């Protein structure tokens, strides 16, 4: 019932082309929905690290199938607990606020909002100043300019 959950769908700078895609694939793998597919290609506006991770998993799985290994999780064992309890540290369970973790903030090398039509929009010039995030999750900067 927290208003923060209601605001979650409107948060800027969500990792919608990285972690969210990776999580979907993790759950699909855990549910055994992908292992029977012979060829998988991840295309479109998806983070390069997600494409590389899953290309390696699919290739390893295909190789294991050829060698006769029938274990559906030999190539990859999803850690769904790590996804579901993102940001929680042992001993800090009472202080963990899940609505601060979901949807996930984009911390990818190439920010998700820069991916479009299979490419990267507007190369960012080098910046030698402070590039840390200013403001809160909702983008409120208190009147301070933000370098993005």
- Phi, psi angle pair for 116, to nearest 5°: -160, 135
Res 4: pLDDT: 63
C-alpha distance from residue 23 to each of 19, 28, 39, 50, 51 (Å): 6, 8, 20, 10, 13
Per-residue pLDDT tens digits for 6-31: 677 677 888 999 999 999 999 999 99
Res 129: pLDDT: 45
- Six-digit token pair at 15? 């990792």
Residue 141 lies in a domain: no
Residue 127 lies in a domain: no
Residue 84 lies in a domain: yes
Per-residue pLDDT tens digits for 57-67: 999 999 999 99
How far is C-alpha 6 from the geometric centre of its chain's CA atoms? 21
Q: Provide CB contacts within 8 A for 80, sequence distance 6+.
A: 26, 27, 30
Q: Enter the pTM of the model.
A: 0.74
Domain count for the chain, please give it: 1
Range of the domain at 111: 3-120
Residue 143 lies in a domain: no
Please give the mean pLDDT across all residues of the chain: 81
The span from the CA of 102 to the CA of 75, in Å, is 28
Residues of the chain with pLDDT under 50: 125-135, 137-138, 140-148
């Amino acid at each position: 019932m927290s208003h923060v959950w209601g605001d979650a769908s409107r948060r800027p700078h969500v990792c919608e082309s990285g972690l969210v895609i990776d999580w979907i694939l993790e759950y699909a793998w855990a549910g055994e929905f992908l292992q029977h597919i012979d060829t998988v290609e991840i295309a479109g506006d998806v983070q390069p690290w997600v494409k590389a991770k899953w290309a390696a998993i699919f290739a390893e799985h295909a190789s294991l199938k050829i060698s006769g290994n029938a274990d559906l999780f030999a190539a990859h064992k999803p850690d769904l607990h790590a996804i579901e309890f993102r940001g929680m540290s042992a001993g800090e369970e009472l202080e963990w606020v899940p609505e601060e973790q979901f949807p996930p903030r984009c911390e990818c090398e190439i920010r998700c909002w820069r991916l479009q039509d299979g490419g990267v929009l507007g190369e960012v010039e080098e910046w030698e100043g402070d590039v840390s995030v200013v403001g809160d999750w909702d983008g409120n900067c208190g009147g301070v300019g933000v370098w993005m």
